[in-house]
Homo-oligomer: A and B are copies of this chain.
Amino acid sequence: MNELDNNMRLTSQRQVIIEELKKVKSHPTANEVYDMVRKRLPRIGLGTVYRNLDLLSEKGIINKLEVGGEQKRFDGDTSEHYHIRCVKCNRVEDIFIERYKELEKDAASCCDYTILNHHVQFSGICSKCLPDA
């Protein structure tokens, strides 16, 4: 739907953000990406990080997670998959199970929306937090 903008430049900031994001599995917040990137580009601004994270997720190069909590999180893995969040430490991890496509069919039959997508968000307690739960 969004025609690719050929005028988009591949700046070093952009490149490093993508590289760092693809490198980890931790679903970092914008601030965490900022910290990661700053190690390689000490003069980068937080605003630039936000601008690029938004831009790259619009282009589908990365994913912006609409997972609950205070901050948005970003995922270098753009394959469709579910997520789980630890209610204690707020860690977010991937859940690679088969997508339930029936969900969208069921939902379509009970509302008058054109359904575009669905996401499943699990909450639980991770193994590191379980002892002190």
Contact = CB atoms under 8 A, between A and B. Distances in A.
A125 to B, nearest CB: 5
Interface stretch (A25-33, A52-60, A116-124): A116-124
Copies assembled: 2
A121 B48 CA distance: 30
For chain A, give the interface size range. 35 or more
Interface stretch (A3-11, A14-22, A92-100): A92-100
A118 B115 contact: no
Contacts of A119: 120-121, 123
A132 interface: no
Contacts of A130: 114
A110 B96 CA distance: 7
Please provide the 10 A-B residue pairs with the shortest distance between their CB atoms, ordered closest to farther: A66-B68, A113-B124, A115-B124, A112-B127, A97-B106, A114-B125, A118-B122, A116-B124, A117-B123, A95-B107
Contact of A113 (B67, B100, B121, B125): B125
